[in-house]
Structure 1
């Protein structure tokens, strides 16, 4: 069916005038008449008939006009829907997040975003850094919110740094090194409580030892969860190497204490990773624009 001709007919049916339809559509009356006659021939039914100096609709024309009203109404709904998708007002955003941003940053970010874009669905995959980049490169998520920097830049992805926070050595308040200044060699003699293999902070600790030609630290306890690792240290066992964002409140409350390791000052990068050649959907772009304005300490 020629939808252009149907639209011309529908405008005639709505205005009950070829003249008014011509003015609205800015198409000459003869051109409209020719198109409607072609539509009648295509459908095999008559849509209009003369009435005095004007026209009226046949019974079939009246019914087709009603169906055309629903059709073009649906067309407008589709256009509005597509416009909202293009503006990022509806749709789905799928994110991978390592444990630091997932537990410390995302709850606030997501709350702020949902207040503005209530109809956008957000799916969050909380995992370690290695798996987060795998989900991104295999196109299972739109972006990855990543705490840390991998030693090797994966192909086909790009990083945008959001901000940096310090990496701290922490122990329980009763530990001999609590609030003390010690050497890295001495610190590495302590048993560590760390996350599983694949954690970016664990990899940073191992990299630190390699840089200073020291043996790898002894990972005496290993947890798959960040909270569990911190709680074990608070309970009095071992040390942890961790983002200050995670333990800052615990240090301020006195439940954990820093160990100041001489000549070691490390920072943790909080970044967004995206696929280099794959433009983000507008919803994800809106989300990233919002979190760019985030200030971690007020």
Structure 2
């Protein structure tokens, strides 16, 4: 297969325009058109189709573009690996992290690591659990940091269990369940405020209900960010199921209160994940070691 043609097709599919693809690749528009036709002829399959004023991939073209995206991500990964050996002290680390480590652990870790290695390009991206592992699998991240249940571990990754953190039910201090000890069936009849589908904490809540043969709660408000969800609860609406690392300071300030649910003790496992059967470069190894040496205070 002509990899230049594949790159050209992928760029057109990504930008939705031959003109934009030509600009991105620094070649002329006629050259893009002619080479694209040659690549389609080589494959003997249609790759693009008109959609209004633009162009979009055909069903086959969309699948090919997805695979090409992974291929070029691997290429970039190899280029970065080579560059690290050329430039001592330089390099790039991309961390895809779920909300808890991204917002409550990594700021401290990243700051201390950058102080030690100021020339390193360290990128932290906040994603949900599904996205974190997709990025790791597709070489769009060097490390995934995950907080949640690890009963079902994806076999293609190495799971390095790092920290544990308890999950709590929390409400506004004025809520009728604030500071109360109740059964799970009593708390789940309340409206819940949670993050979007794909959130590991939301999945753990529903798994908890299933294990206890209790009808799961109604998600009355849904947010893409945890701070927004907690703000709604602090305003007096509903219940949130949340990490103690997140809730502890709010509880100390009197903004939130715990609901003590009988016979429920759920722990978030915080893990550092990498691709299996891949030797991590020296820079990534140093970052992981730096994280594991750092200790954090847990909410109790």
Aligned residue runs from structure 1 range 235-250, under 5 A: 235-250=235-250
1:112 to partner: Cα distance: 0.3
Number of residue pairs the alignment of both structures matches = 217
Which 4+ runs in 1 deviate beyond 2 A? Answer: 80-85, 149-152
* 1:18-56 superposed Cα distances (whole Å, 9 cap, x missing partner): xxxxxxxxxxxxxxxxxxxxxxxxxxxxxxxxxxxxxxx
Whole-Å separation in 2 of the counterparts to 1:189 and 1:81: 55
* 1:60-106 superposed Cα distances (whole Å, 9 cap, x missing partner): xxxxxxxxxxxxxxxxxxxx973764xxx320001101011111111
1:123 to partner: Cα distance: 1.5
The answer to whether residue 226 in structure 2 is matched with residue 223 in structure 1 is no
- Cα 1:140–1:172 change in 2 (3 A) is same
Partner of 1:253: 253
Partner of 1:111: 111
Partner of 1:137: 137
Secondary structure, aligned partner of 1:292: helix
Partner of 2:174: 174
Partner of 2:98: 98
Aligned residue runs from structure 1 range 255-270, under 5 A: 255-270=255-270
**Structure 2 contact 97–146 (Cα < 8 Å) conserved:** yes
Whole-Å separation in 2 of the counterparts to 1:297 and 1:125: 23
Gap runs ≥5 in structure 2: 1-82
Partner of 1:288: 288
The answer to whether residue 158 in structure 2 is matched with residue 155 in structure 1 is no
Partner of 2:205: 205
The answer to whether residue 197 in structure 2 is matched with residue 194 in structure 1 is no
Secondary structure, aligned partner of 2:158: strand
1:154 to partner: Cα distance: 1.6
Partner of 1:127: 127
1:158 to partner: Cα distance: 1.6
Partner of 1:271: 271
Whole-Å separation in 1 of the counterparts to 2:178 and 2:216: 22
**Structure 2 contact 90–121 (Cα < 8 Å) conserved:** yes
TM-score calculated relative to the size of structure 2: 0.70
TM-score calculated relative to the size of structure 1: 0.70
